[in-house]
Structure 1
Amino acid sequence: MSVFAVREAGSADLILSNPAAEQKIIGQLLYDDSWAEVIGDKVDDRDFADPLLGRIFAVAMREVAERRRVNLVLLAPLFKDDDEFHDAGGQRYLQDLTRDAMTDRLDDAYCSQVRLLATQRRLIASLRETIQSASVPGADLPAIVASADSALSAAIEARDDITFRDGSDCIDEVIDGFDRQIVGVTSGIVEGIDHLIGAIRPGWLGILAARPGMGKTATIVSYLRGAAAQGHHVLLASLEMTWETLALRLIADHCHSTGQPVSFDAIMNRRVQDHHRRQIRAMRDEIAALPMKVIDKRCHTLGQLRRAIRRHKRLLEVQGKKLDLVAVDYLQLLRPDHRGNSEFDDVSEVSRTLKQMAGEEDVAIIALSQLSRSVESREDKRPRLSDLRSSGQIEQDADFVIFLLSEEYYLSKEEPRSDDQHYDAWASKMERARDRLEFSCAKFRHGADGIHHGKFFRRFQAVR
């Protein structure tokens, strides 16, 4: 018998397999069912190219799980109605498999190879399905690409062995970690987030939420610029603004940090003076050197966002570098690959998937979020967790939730006439609130809630 086999299961359907390795696994399980735990951690019934061996494996593992003995005598009656089992020789077939195990102990390499070949088969099947779908005239190519990406990810997804650790292992890990540097992202610019959260770790999902006009986008642009200046590789996916508009905000923020501020309005409307133009040209190389990228095509779906993240990760990994932080502006504009029955369902799915994505891609994710209009109807405009728009799932999935509040924004809309008796009181409040931005951490899974006051220089779209 050939060690490897490439056989046709249908028209042009070549299946990679190692029949001998699959038989060795089943033989060992029948000969000594105490191997079930070891084998079950490495392969499952879906990994067998031979459907009969896959069924035998599934039944054997089910019997072991129910604490019943497994051997060729006890297993054979369970296949009395299986024609393929009888065609293969019935109980005599199981005897042959068991006899081989008696003379040749199972090697871990058999399980590894069966698993590897199964992964290759799933990958081939996913590619074929994609080709078939894309061959139809008028095919929905974005949907096909999204579906293919999900299918390919599932096909090659690694399955980790389950491990158990006792209390001493956990304590030793903590003690050993005291001397290790914390891996995470800080800004060094936006003190509100740095003070409340500290280093944002890989796998975390953070939510930065506020009503319009509070400075969400300005905050995340300033935070990313600061993080990039410290060497962190960051990626911004904006579903609301074009990359050109974000570039203008980045320039205004950077100019402010140099002590030579240029108003965002002047940059936006191309009303910069000659010396400002020279200044911006001079800082061009500084900004270009930052390890910060903006996705130049809006990622409207989770599948598109995941592909963009993976593509950038691959480019960095080739250079021996790592993607540290992804920011999404903003969460409610991101759609699941398959729409739900309501906005609530869609936002819940987006929230859950972003949290999963952070873990699977080993990056931190910060998603900006809108708040419901109920904030505006209250005298106290300070946001609450219940104000998170569309879904309580966001609160559940997030590692931290930070709200932004600019009292200056609301006061500016209440300005009385200069001859009004209340003008002086308003002016006093306005002076205290000027450029003041409140960061309120309403949830932190890994620490305490709290409030920190920073600065939002609105004219320059710079947050500190």
Structure 2
Amino acid sequence: MSIHKPVDPGVFGGALRSVPQNLACEHGLLGAVLVDSKKVLETVEEILHPDHFADPVNAQIYEKALLIYNEGRNVDPLTIIRHFEHPDELVWGKTNPKEYFAKLLTAYVSPRMAFDYAREIRDAAMRRQLMALCQQTSDLCCRPEDERAEDIVEGHEAMLLNIAMGMSESQPNVSLHEAGCTAMSKAREAVERGSALAGMSWGYKSLDRMTNGLVGGNMYVVGARPAMGKTSWALGIALRVAQTGKRTLFWSGEMTAEQVGGRAAAAKCGLNLRSVFSGRRWDVPEEAETGEQPPLEDWQWQAYQRACDDMFHIPLEIDTRAGLTIPQLRSRARRMKRSKKGLDLIVLDYFQLMRSAAKGKDLYEEGTKISNELKILAKELDVPLVVLAQLNRESEKREDKKPTEADLRGTGALEQDADVVCLIHREHYYLKKQASGGGLVKRDRETSEQYSLRCQELTDKLEASKGKGSIILAKNRHGPTGTCRMWFDDQTTWFRDAGEDPRSPAWAVQRSAA
């Protein structure tokens, strides 16, 4: 039976309320511990903690029982009573320990019932926590000058998440045989649905072949130096996943939602990115009379409109909050995951613009906290999480500008936590920079013929690298490493697989048959 004690009405409508507790179950469980501690504690230890008990006396007894049990000793009235020869008056008051233990022994229940009693005790504890959280939130709402409503909501959801995590029961171990059979079953399912992938397609076949797709619970890190196109590629992944009906959350810490939408439209309708935002043509010379670029033609506006119309069917949601914290991301992602539409992929642009809920001593420690929390979030929600990161400047100091996994240093434990590390490289960018930035200055003791030959070599390399890029798989926990060749369109800032037709749609809505 449940016993409730009255509490102050507080802000709950003025009615007399009671705190949920189940003292009868607490007494029965502790009596069972005193009679058969081994059977009872090995059953309930993982799901029941001392702070789940409503009565502080019962909490102390359970805590001491766990201490004795974990030392490998048996718990009975004689072994535990010595811990309470001088009971804490603030907790025990005038209660006599010997009389109290005798009372517990009379409330004894069989070990078979102990697990059910433990769940009842924990359920009451969760209800008490929920009541306390609601009262705390209500108090904050009555002081609007202290915190913004948005901050109160975020704090409430973060605490609610902690309570929810405490409600999940212990996850059982899985035998090797069961794990192997599950893996085989998923492989059969992949064959039946016509896919050779363990997870969702990236939207890029070369990546699919090497990584076996985007797998739930995995964290994929995409590293690049500025101007390499990491945002474009991340948006490409998000769009191509979402076009298949998979709900995707795309966070950008440096772009507005309008800019993200403009990039998606530019890729779809083949317009210059500048045209999408200005409404003018940048693929033709400026008008002689006005000295300005001519406005888009009707057919271009129509293509632009069709791209916007197609976006209606794309389940891609954009978050542009600055300095996103992990609790903020977790709160929104969990709401999406719990909804009927669900959540299939998270893309974050980019890591260094995120903030930890609790600041570390330095950037490395803070980065490590963020990385660990992101990995936990991916596993908790069982969705793939793609994280963009800006590489340090070491690659630009080298003659060969190709990035390496070591260039991720400075991002905390991101490199270690990642299941897959992709590095974007476009040699054309560096060659173009070299050609236009005085990289062809004549060297001392260099003849004109040698200088001319070097200029020609650079020109040939520049032409050969035009429109080309590569995705380097520097780390792949469940597959090979290597390089995927890509095409990059400077006008629309869009990546395609090297085998794709450059005239094919950048993305398309794949509607299911009626």
TM-score by length of 1: 0.90
The 1:11/1:81 distance shift into structure 2, 3 A limit, reads farther
Find out whether 1:210 has 2:224 as its counterpart: yes
Q: Is the 8 A contact 1:248 1:264 kept in 2?
A: yes
Rounded to whole Å, the distance in 2 between the matches of 1:395 and 1:103 is: 51
* Cα offsets for 1:391-445 (capped at 9, x unmatched): 3411011111100000111111122699972443222112221111111011112
Rounded to whole Å, the distance in 2 between the matches of 1:250 and 1:44 is: 51
Question: Which residue identity does 1:6 align to in structure 2?
Answer: K
The 1:300/1:41 distance shift into structure 2, 3 A limit, reads closer
Find out whether 1:164 has 2:173 as its counterpart: yes
2:163 — aligned with what?
Answer: 155
1:328 Cα shift? 0.7
Rounded to whole Å, the distance in 1 between the matches of 2:174 and 2:163 is: 29
Secondary structure of 2:249's aligned partner: strand
Query: How much identity, in percent, do the aligned residues show?
Result: 26
Q: Is the 8 A contact 1:209 1:403 kept in 2?
A: yes
Q: Which moved more, 1:84-93 or 1:232-241?
A: 84-93
1:273 — aligned with what?
Answer: 297
Find out whether 1:130 has 2:137 as its counterpart: yes
2:251 — aligned with what?
Answer: 237
2:475 to 423, 439, 443: 443
Rounded to whole Å, the distance in 2 between the matches of 1:250 and 1:389 is: 31
Secondary structure of 2:209's aligned partner: helix
2:214 to 197, 200, 207: 200
2:52 to 47, 50, 54: 47
Secondary structure of 2:108's aligned partner: helix
Q: Which moved more, 1:403-412 or 1:117-126?
A: 117-126
Rounded to whole Å, the distance in 2 between the matches of 1:356 and 1:370 is: 22
Question: Which residue identity does 1:19 align to in structure 2?
Answer: L
Rounded to whole Å, the distance in 2 between the matches of 1:168 and 1:145 is: 45
1:403 to 413, 417, 423: 423
Q: Is the 8 A contact 2:326 2:357 kept in 1?
A: yes
* Cα offsets for 1:42-83 (capped at 9, x unmatched): 311111111111111111111111111111232222111114
Question: Which residue identity does 1:89 align to in structure 2?
Answer: N
Find out whether 1:252 has 2:263 as its counterpart: no
The 1:177/1:7 distance shift into structure 2, 3 A limit, reads same
1:185 — aligned with what?
Answer: 200
**Cα RMSD between the aligned structures?**
2.5
Question: Which residue identity does 1:279 align to in structure 2?
Answer: A
Q: Report which of the two structures shows the higher radius of gyration computed on alpha carbons.
A: 2
Question: Which residue identity does 2:160 align to in structure 1?
Answer: L
Rounded to whole Å, the distance in 1 between the matches of 2:395 and 2:299 is: 43
Rounded to whole Å, the distance in 2 between the matches of 1:338 and 1:16 is: 32
Question: Which residue identity does 1:173 align to in structure 2?
Answer: T
Gaps of 5+ in 1: 256-260
Q: Is the 8 A contact 1:264 1:461 kept in 2?
A: yes
1:144 Cα shift? 4.5
Question: Which residue identity does 2:75 align to in structure 1?
Answer: V
1:381 — aligned with what?
Answer: 401
Question: Which residue identity does 1:447 align to in structure 2?
Answer: G
Kindly report which structure 2 residues correspond to 1:14-93, keeping only aligned pairs within 5 A, or say none. Answer: 14-34=18-38, 35-82=40-87, 83=89, 84-85=91-92, 87-93=94-100
1:263 to 272, 288, 304: 272
Rounded to whole Å, the distance in 2 between the matches of 1:337 and 1:130 is: 19
Rounded to whole Å, the distance in 2 between the matches of 1:368 and 1:20 is: 54
TM-score by length of 2: 0.82
Question: Which residue identity does 1:184 align to in structure 2?
Answer: G
1:167 Cα shift? 3.2
Q: Which moved more, 1:80-89 or 1:299-308?
A: 80-89
Find out whether 1:109 has 2:116 as its counterpart: yes
